Structure 1
Amino acid sequence: MDIRPAATLVLTRNTSEGLEVLLLQRTWDAVFLPGYFVFPGGAVDAQEPHGREHALGPGDAEISQIMSVDEGGADYMLAAVRECFEEAGILVAVDKQGNPVSGDHSVHGDRESVFRGELSLADVCRKHGLSIPLDRLAYLSHWITPPGPPRRFDTRFFVTTAPEGQLASHDGVETIDHVWIRPEDALEHHRSGRRLLGLPTIRTLRVLSDFGTTDALMRYAHANPPEPYPSKPWPALKNGRPVTLDPGSPAYDEATKLDPEGEGLTQAEVVPGDPVEVAAGVIRLTAPNPGMMTGPGTNTYLLGHERFTVIDPGPANETHIERILEVTGGVIDQVLVTHTHQDHSPAVAALKKRTGCRVFGWPAPEGASQDQTFRADDEPEHGDLIVTEAGILRVLHTPGHASNHLCYLLTDQALLFSGDHIMQGSTVVINPPDGDMKAYIESLYDLLAESIHFIAPAHGFVMGQPEAVIDFLITHRLSREHKVARALEALTPVDLKTLTAMAYDDVPAAIHGLAARSALAHLLKLEAEHRAFRKDDLWHISPDR
C-alpha cells in the first residue's frame, strides 16, 4: 500500500476562556476515520508546487531542511492551507497590501471550485492577487499512519493563528460539523466517549493544552520543530538471512534501538531460548510457549550483571527454567511478576526452590486462568522502588487486564516492563469479572504521565514511541465503546449476544463468543459511568446519559 503525503493545519484563536482550536467532524460514510473530529487537512496534490510563486516567507529549501525532507517542504504547507480553505472555509492569505483576507472577500466564492479541483491554490492566488504567508505557519509534528487502516498517510502538522473576520464552516460533504473548543475540553470529551479523536489529533491536542495564548504557542512551535525519527527501511536478520524491515513492522523499533547505525545485526524474529540484550543490563529470554494468546511466547527479562532480578519467569516449563538458571548462573536475588496468569508466574516456585530468591507480586485473584500456586514474599505498593543491578524499578499498579497487574518502570533508562498491560502486535483481552475495561483505560491514561522511552512487553519485541502506542490502545478501545454505545442506543433493551453482533459486525461471526466478553467489559464500563444499566438479562441505555 502506498503511503500518501498529506498535510494538516491546526487553526487556533484566543478567547476569554483561553486558547481554542478548530475541529471538523468527518462524515460517517468516510472510509477513513468515519465520525471522527479532526483538524482540516488532506493529501498533497500535484498542483501544489505551482503555489510556491505566490508564497511569502522562507523558501522551499529552508522549509524542507526544517522538516528533514530533501525537497517539497513548502508543498506540504501549501497543501495544508488549501485543505483548510476547502474543508473549513478559512483561507490563510494576504492581499497586495499585506492585509489578511477578510470574511467578505470575493475569494470565498471560489471555495467550491477549489474543493472540486477546478481551481488550484495558485489559480486562486493569481485570480485575486493574493499571497500565502508561509512564515505565519509553524511545523508542529509528523505522523505516519501505522499499518492496518485502509489508507495510510505521511502527514505533517502545521499550526497557525486563525485570521480574524473569517467564519469557519464545514463543507457538508467530507465534514458534517465543526466546533471551536479548548484542547483540554476536547481531550476530556474523548476520554468520556463524547467525541471520537484519532491518535495524531490526541497527541496534537495534548501539546496545545500546555499553552494559554496563540502567541505563546506560535513562539514555541517556531523554535521547536519536531525531531525526525527513523522512517526508512531498516536492515536486520531473519533465519540467518538479511531482511529489510519497513516502518511499523513488529521488529522495526527494536532494530533501530539496538542497531542505530543500521548494520543489519539484529534479529527480526523472537526465538525462544535465545538471549537478547534489549537495554543496558537487560536480557530478554523468551519461553517456548507460542500460541494465539501468547504470540511468540512469554518474555522473561533478566536484569543485572552478576546478580540478577527476574521479571515474569513464565510458565512451569523445565526447559525455560533451566535456561534462566543457565543465563544468570543461578545467581537470582529476586523475582518480580506482573500478574498471575498461567503463562507468567508458575515458574516462580521452581526458581524460589533452586535459588532462594525473594518474590514480589500480588496474590492471585479467583479464576481458572490464575496461578493459585503463586506465593509472594513482598506485595509492593504503587510507587514503591525496587533496586536492581540494572537500575531502580518503580512499581506501577495497572489494573484492567488483571486486577493484580503491575508494571515496572526502569527509571534511569525510561524502559517500561509492561507485562500484558501493553502487548506488541495485538490488543489485550479484558475478560470480566477480573478484567475491567474502565480500570484498563484509566491506567493507560496514568502511564501517559510517566517518562517512558521504550516499552518491553511480555509478548513480542521492544516498542518505541510509547505515547503513540498508548494512545492507539486508548483510541481503539474508545472507538469500540462508541460502537457499543450506538448499538445499545439503537437496540435498547437488548441482550448481550444481539448487541455483540451489531457492535462487532466488522469481525468474523466465529469469534463473536470472545467478542461478547469484550462487549460485556464495555457495557460494565458504561454502567459504572451511569450511561447504561442492566435489568435481568437485558441492557438499557440510561435515560439521563
Structure 2
Amino acid sequence: MAIRPAATLALVRDAFADSDRSDKSGAGIEILLLQRTWDAVFLPGYYVFPGGAVDQEDARGRPHAAGPQDTEISHTMSLGEGGTDYMLAAVRECFEEAGVLIAVDADRRAVNADHAVHGDRKAVFSGALPLAELCQRHTLTIPLDRLAYLSHWVTPPGAPRRFDTRFFVTTAPENQPVSPDGEETIHHLWVSPAKALEAHRAGQLLMTLPTIRTLRVLRDFDTTETLMRYAWANPPEPYPSQPWPALKRGQPVVLEPGAPAYDEAAKLDPEGEGTTVSDIIPGDAVEVAAGVIRLTAPNPGMMTGPGTNTYILGHKRFTVLDPGPDIDKHIERIMAVTGGQIESVIVTHTHLDHSPATRALKEKTGCRVYGRPAPAGASQDQTFTPDEQPEHGALIKTDAGTLKALHTPGHASNHQCYLLTNQALLFSGDHVMQGSTVVINPPDGDMKAYLESLYDLLAEPVRYIAPAHGFLMSHPEAVIDYLITHRLAREHKISRALGELSPVALKDLTGKAYDDVPAEIHGVAARSALAHLLKLEADGRATQKDGLWQATPTT
C-alpha cells in the first residue's frame, strides 16, 4: 500500500481572542477542531484538525510563498526537498475545510472575512482552482513564516489508508470566522487542549492518536505567542523512516518501520550492522537491556503469540519476572540462565501462562515471591501464593535496578506493571501487548479500569515497553494512545448501536457494533461488547433489565 504525503494545520487562538476583554492574561489557548461527516469512509464522526493529502499542484504555489526557502524548510523536516509543498497543502486544506485562509494581500494585510477570495473556496475545494492560481487571481501571498512545524506521524501498517503526515501550527487570523465545508466537515468547535482531552477520555469526542498527541503538546502553553516561539525553536525529531537490517532464521532481512521487531532492532543495534534477530525463538536468551534477558516460553498460540516472555533481571543475583507456564523445559532454561541464583520472582498477574512456574522456582531456590493473589476463576492460577503483595508505587530492589510496581487493573483485577526506573523500561505484562488488543473478559476483566490504567501509564517516564508477548516497543505514548483510541472508537460505535436498537440483547448489539469483524468471532467479540456496556453502565450511559440493554439520555 502506497503511503500518501499529507499535511495538517492546527489553528490556535488566545482564549479571549474574540472578546472585548482587555485583560487576556492567563486564559490559555484554544484550538480548532472540525468534525468529519458520519458518511466519511475514513474516520467518520472524528474530530480532527484541518488537513489532507498533498496535491501535485501544491508545488506550483511556491512562487506565491513568503518566508523561509524550501531548502531551509526541508532541512527542518528532515527532507531532501519539498517541505514547502507540505506547508502549502496545509494552508489549502484549511481554506477548503474550515474556510480560513492564511494569506496576506499586496500590502501585507491579513485576509479578512470580506475578502473576495472566499468566493472561490468551492472551486479550490473541488480541485478546479489550484492554490497557485487562487493566489495569482487575488494577488495574495502565503506567509510560511507564520507556520511552525509541530510533529510528524506515519500511519502504522494495517490501516485501510496510510499517510505520512506533517503537522503545523499557526495563530488563527482574527477576522475570519470558521465555516465547515458541509461535505467533509460538518461541525466545528474552539476548545482548550485540556478540555478536548478530557472530552476524549469521557468518550464524548472521537479523536485519532496524532490529534491526541498534538493536544498534549499544546496544553502546556498559556498563550499563542509562547507556543509559536517554542514550536519555531523546537522542531520534532525525525520519525523513523529508514529500513533496518536484521537476521531471521539466520538469514539477513530488512525491517521496515512498523515491523514488529523494528524498534528492538534499532535499540539493540544502533549502528545498523544487522546483528539482531527479528524472530522470537522459545528458549533463546536475548539481552534486551542492560541486565535484562528475555526468555520466551514454548507456549505459542492464538492468545499468546510467539509465547509468554519471561524477563530475567540481574547480573549475579537474579529476579525472574513472569516465570510463565508450568512447563519443565522452560523452568530448566530459567534455572540454566540464572545458575539457580534466583533471589525473587515477580508476577504481573495470575493467568495460566504467566505465574504457574513460580511454584517450581520457589521449591528449587527458596526465592521470595511478589505479586497479588489470584481472583476467582478457571483461568486463574490458584496455586500462586505471594510472600509480598506490592502496593501501587511500591519499590522493589533488584540487581538490575529498582522496579516500581504499578497497579493496572483491567485485563485482570490483580494486574501489575513494573517500571525499571533507571532504564525507563516498562514490563507491561498483558496490559500492553504487541500487535494485538488485550482481552477484557468480565467479570474480572473491567474496561473502565483498563482505560483508566492506560491513562495512568501515560504519566510514567517510560522509554520502552517490554510486553509479555512480542518484541520491545518504543514510542510508548503512541502505543498506549493507540490502545485508548481503539477502545474509545469501539465504545462510540457500541453507544450509537445502543441508541439505534435499544432495548437490545447483547448478541444483536454485537452484530451491529462489530459488523467490521468476521461473524465467526462474534462470540468472542460479545465478551468485549459486554465489557464496554458495563463501562457505559458505570458512566450512566446505559442500563440493563431482563437481559436487555437500554440507552439513557446521555448515551
Q: Identify whether the pair has TM-score above 0.5, normalized to the shorter chain.
A: yes
Contact 2:152 2:239 in 1 (8 A): no
Q: 1:543 to 1:108 in 2, by over 3 A?
A: closer
Residue 544 (structure 1) shift: 5.1
Aligned residue pairs total 545
In 1, the alpha carbon distance for the partners of 2:423 and 2:373 equals: 29
Q: Which moved more, 1:365-374 or 1:22-31?
A: 22-31
Q: Which moved more, 1:450-459 or 1:204-213?
A: 204-213
In 2, the alpha carbon distance for the partners of 1:214 and 1:543 equals: 38
SS in 1 for 2:422: helix
Residues 73-110 of structure 1: CA distance to partner in whole angstroms, max 9, x if unpaired? 11111110011011111000111111111111011111
**Which residue does 1:320 correspond to in 2?**
330
**Which residue does 2:365 correspond to in 1?**
355
Residues 102-146 of structure 1: CA distance to partner in whole angstroms, max 9, x if unpaired? 111011111111111111111111111111110100000000000
In 2, the alpha carbon distance for the partners of 1:116 and 1:15 equals: 33
**Which residue does 1:264 correspond to in 2?**
274
Residues 375-422 of structure 1: CA distance to partner in whole angstroms, max 9, x if unpaired? 100001000101111111100000000000000001111100000000
TM-score computed with the length of structure 1 as normaliser: 0.99
Matched, 1:117 2:121: no
In 1, the alpha carbon distance for the partners of 2:251 and 2:462 equals: 33
In 2, the alpha carbon distance for the partners of 1:286 and 1:469 equals: 22
**Which residue does 1:85 correspond to in 2?**
95
Contact 2:417 2:429 in 1 (8 A): yes
SS in 2 for 1:413: coil
Question: Which among 343, 363, 383 is matched to residue 353 of structure 2?
Answer: 343
Q: Which moved more, 1:68-77 or 1:432-441?
A: 68-77
In 2, the alpha carbon distance for the partners of 1:531 and 1:359 equals: 41
Residue 18 (structure 1) shift: 2.7
**Which residue does 1:519 correspond to in 2?**
529
Residue 48 (structure 1) shift: 1.6
Residue 543 (structure 1) shift: 3.2
Contact 2:10 2:31 in 1 (8 A): yes
In 1, the alpha carbon distance for the partners of 2:502 and 2:240 equals: 48
Identity of aligned residues (%): 73
Matched, 1:32 2:38: no
**Which residue does 2:418 correspond to in 1?**
408
Q: Which runs of 5+ in 2 are unaligned?
A: 17-26
In 1, the alpha carbon distance for the partners of 2:60 and 2:374 equals: 65
SS in 1 for 2:230: helix
Q: 1:544 to 1:83 in 2, by over 3 A?
A: closer
Return the letter of the residue paired with 1:230.
P
Return the letter of the residue paired with 1:71.
E
**Which residue does 1:430 correspond to in 2?**
440
Q: Which moved more, 1:220-229 or 1:198-207?
A: 220-229
Matched, 1:3 2:3: yes
In 2, the alpha carbon distance for the partners of 1:492 and 1:19 equals: 40
| 1:350-499 correspondence runs (5 A) | 350-499=360-509
In 2, the alpha carbon distance for the partners of 1:497 and 1:275 equals: 45
**Which residue does 1:219 correspond to in 2?**
229
SS in 1 for 2:186: strand
Residue 229 (structure 1) shift: 3.3
Contact 1:259 1:265 in 2 (8 A): yes
Contact 1:496 1:539 in 2 (8 A): yes
**Which residue does 1:230 correspond to in 2?**
240
Residue 30 (structure 1) shift: 1.7
SS in 2 for 1:392: strand
Return the letter of the residue paired with 1:58.
P
SS in 2 for 1:49: helix
Residues 217-263 of structure 1: CA distance to partner in whole angstroms, max 9, x if unpaired? 10111111101132121111111111111111111111111111111
Contact 2:437 2:483 in 1 (8 A): yes
In 1, the alpha carbon distance for the partners of 2:317 and 2:82 equals: 54
Contact 1:455 1:463 in 2 (8 A): yes
Contact 1:281 1:390 in 2 (8 A): yes
Matched, 1:165 2:179: no
| 1:109-258 correspondence runs (5 A) | 109-258=119-268
In 1, the alpha carbon distance for the partners of 2:531 and 2:228 equals: 42
**Which residue does 2:19 correspond to in 1?**
none
SS in 2 for 1:247: coil
In 2, the alpha carbon distance for the partners of 1:82 and 1:132 equals: 10
In 2, the alpha carbon distance for the partners of 1:78 and 1:254 equals: 36
SS in 2 for 1:412: coil
**Which residue does 1:101 correspond to in 2?**
111
Residue 5 (structure 1) shift: 0.6
Question: Which among 53, 59, 70 is matched to residue 69 of structure 2?
Answer: 59
In 2, the alpha carbon distance for the partners of 1:515 and 1:286 equals: 28
In 2, the alpha carbon distance for the partners of 1:49 and 1:14 equals: 32
In 1, the alpha carbon distance for the partners of 2:41 and 2:289 equals: 40
Residues 428-469 of structure 1: CA distance to partner in whole angstroms, max 9, x if unpaired? 000000000000000000000111000000000000100000
Contact 1:31 1:150 in 2 (8 A): no
Residues 459-492 of structure 1: CA distance to partner in whole angstroms, max 9, x if unpaired? 0000010000000000000000001111111111
Return the letter of the residue paired with 1:90.
V
In 2, the alpha carbon distance for the partners of 1:15 and 1:317 equals: 61
Contact 1:32 1:149 in 2 (8 A): no
Contact 2:317 2:342 in 1 (8 A): yes
Contact 1:345 1:371 in 2 (8 A): yes
